[in-house]
Chain A
């Protein structure tokens, strides 16, 4: 994933590479994901979320559908 100042530079990046525009998230969504993934990373109990957990975690910040499903074998080029 890449960080951009605005949706405009996302569009420019995609057009420059001939790539479809795909989902973007905001800073608060990213912080939630960062905390969920890494808050306990330096502890014995730390582990990476499993695929079903990932789907639940993404849904909590409004990220739903095949693009956000690590088990999906098909996904939409959502924007």
Chain B
């Protein structure tokens, strides 16, 4: 396994286990390397559109899709763990990645009215909702934090 893959896997395994994104120092300790080496890997993974470091702070992870490194309006509960997703797609993606049932607390993008989505036995529970894409696919990564 190459170094960047080891970094990526350590990040995902840590988030899945603890719900929290590790810092570059945490990953460095786990892989017996330096935070600088890990941050260089994060930047390479960012260029491959696999991770997003925190803007202005390369030691922290803002997005390890489908997981968010910060609290968002998409709160995903899996058993007793609470994760945060970057968007509705990623909220379902957490259930897919963890291969687990999930309850997703979200809200209507216009009215902020609370909404609940649920994944049970590998399928979404039917729910009246619409997912609107304001940005075309060719521009999703122009500003992924907005997309």
User: Which residues does A use to contact B, with CB under 8 Å?
Assistant: 1-7, 9-10, 12-14, 16, 19, 21-31, 33-35, 37-39, 41-42, 44, 46-48, 54, 58, 66-73, 75
User: Which residues does B use to contact A, with CB under 8 Å?
Assistant: 1, 5, 8-9, 12-13, 16, 48-50, 65-66, 87-90, 92-99, 106-111, 113, 115, 117, 119, 123-124, 126-138, 140, 147
Interface contact B96-A27, CB-CB below 8 Å: no
A14-B135 Cα distance, complex, nearest whole Å: 12
What residue of chain B has the Cβ atom nearest to residue A27's Cβ? Answer: B124
Q: Indicate which residue in A6, A34, A72 contacts B89 across the interface (CB closer than 8 Å).
A: A34
Q: Indicate which residue in A27, A29, A34 contacts B126 across the interface (CB closer than 8 Å).
A: A27
Interface contact B106-A3, CB-CB below 8 Å: yes
- A1-B87, A10-B109 are known; give 4 further A-B pairs, CB within 8 A: A3-B88, A68-B136, A72-B136, A72-B138
Interface contact B130-A42, CB-CB below 8 Å: no
Find chain A residues with CB under 8 A from B87 CB: 1-3
Interface contact A5-B111, CB-CB below 8 Å: yes
A14-B133 Cα distance, complex, nearest whole Å: 11
Interface contact B136-A5, CB-CB below 8 Å: no
Interface contact A48-B89, CB-CB below 8 Å: no
A65-B89 Cα distance, complex, nearest whole Å: 20
Interface contact A10-B50, CB-CB below 8 Å: no
What residue of chain B has the Cβ atom nearest to residue A77's Cβ? Answer: B136
Find chain A residues with CB under 8 A from B137 CB: 54, 58, 67-70, 72
